[in-house]
Amino acid sequence: MAKKLEDIMQNLSQERQKKIEARTQELIAEEMTLRDIRKARELTQERMAELLKIRQDSVSRLEKRSDLLLSTLRSYIEAMGGELELTAKFPDRPPVKLTGLAELE
């Protein structure tokens, strides 16, 4: 008979459960869309429009786009209270944090 995940989790130590939950949140965070991030921050499209000084329908279109200017993406993330960081990953060296791109000033 198959076991339910919740039954398996209940049999683990609290420490192990916390580690699993933390890793779950990391994996989820790695794959969030702008819309997902906005909702996780409990912001509506209307509020984002106010913060960005654009119309709500523009927020909707922005969230659906797959190709954004870095400055647009940075503005969106900063409006939610975050900070955009870009990292280049190579197979033969440690990750490199890119700086000086899409400066708003």
Note whether residue 89 is domain-resident.
Answer: yes
- Per the structure, how many domains does the chain have? 1
Query: Which domain range does residue 25 map to?
Result: 14-98
CA dist., res. 35 & res. 44, Å (int): 9
CA dist., res. 103 & res. 32, Å (int): 24
Domain CATH code at residue 65: 1.10.260.40
**pLDDT value at residue 104:** 47
Note whether residue 7 is domain-resident.
Answer: no
Note whether residue 61 is domain-resident.
Answer: yes
- What does the pLDDT look like over 26-36, one tens digit per residue? 777 777 889 98
Residues 70-82: what's their mean pLDDT?
92
**pLDDT value at residue 53:** 95
Note whether residue 9 is domain-resident.
Answer: no
Assess whether pLDDT exceeds 90 at residue 48: yes
CA dist., res. 103 & res. 80, Å (int): 18
**pLDDT value at residue 105:** 44
Its pTM surpasses 0.75: no
In 3D, which of 89, 87, 58, 88 has the Cα closest to residue 75? 58
**pLDDT value at residue 103:** 55
